[in-house]
């Protein structure tokens, strides 16, 4: 019975880690959509999402410089979103196995 509880705890931890990665990716995608669709950058909600998305993008902003601002945001922040999904997925898999 102890083993069952341990396994369940690892599964829960794995789901929490995956959920955090999905949340981080969602914030990045929301920021991309707001930029590409031309959201009012003076709006408080936009500034809030921007304040979350920029630090979560880590070192990706500026990685691609195509000359098109919208494409740059899409590539750089989109890559950050994929990064969070992949990294947290790998961590979650490792947690669930051990």
> With DSSP H G I counted as helix, E B as strand and the rest as coil, what are the percentages for the chain, rounded to 5?
80, 0, 20
Residue 86: what pLDDT?
A: 96
d(CA 70, CA 65): 10
Q: Is 8 helix (H, G, I), strand (E, B) or coil?
A: helix
pLDDT tens digits, residue range 44-75?
Answer: 999 999 999 999 999 999 998 999 999 999 99
Q: What is the pLDDT of residues 11-29, one digit of tens each?
A: 888 899 999 999 999 999 9
Q: Which residues contact 47 (CB under 8 A, 6 or more apart)?
A: 41
Checking if the pLDDT of 1 tops 80, the result is: no
What does the alpha-carbon distance between residue 80 and residue 61 come to, in Å, rounded to a whole number? 9
Q: What are the extents of the domains in the chain?
A: 25-97
The pair of three-digit structure tokens given for residue 87, joined into one six-digit string:
């990294």
User: What stretch of H or E contains 12?
Assistant: helix 2-36
The token duo for 17 is 């880690």
Instruction: Tell me the pTM.
Output: 0.85
**Residues near 93 by Cβ (< 8 Å), separated by ≥ 6?**
14
pLDDT at 8: 66
- pLDDT of 9 above 50: yes
């Amino acid at each position: 019975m102890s083993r069952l509880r341990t396994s369940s705890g690892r599964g829960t931890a794995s789901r929490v880690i995956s959920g955090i990665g999905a949340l981080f990716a969602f914030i990045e995608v929301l920021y991309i959509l707001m930029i590409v669709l031309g959201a009012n950058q003076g709006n408080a909600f936009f500034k809030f999402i921007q304040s979350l998305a920029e630090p979560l993008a880590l070192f990706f902003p500026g990685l691609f410089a195509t000359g098109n601002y919208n494409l740059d945001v899409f590539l750089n922040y989109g890559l950050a979103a994929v990064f969070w999904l992949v990294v947290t997925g790998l961590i979650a898999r490792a947690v669930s196995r051990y």
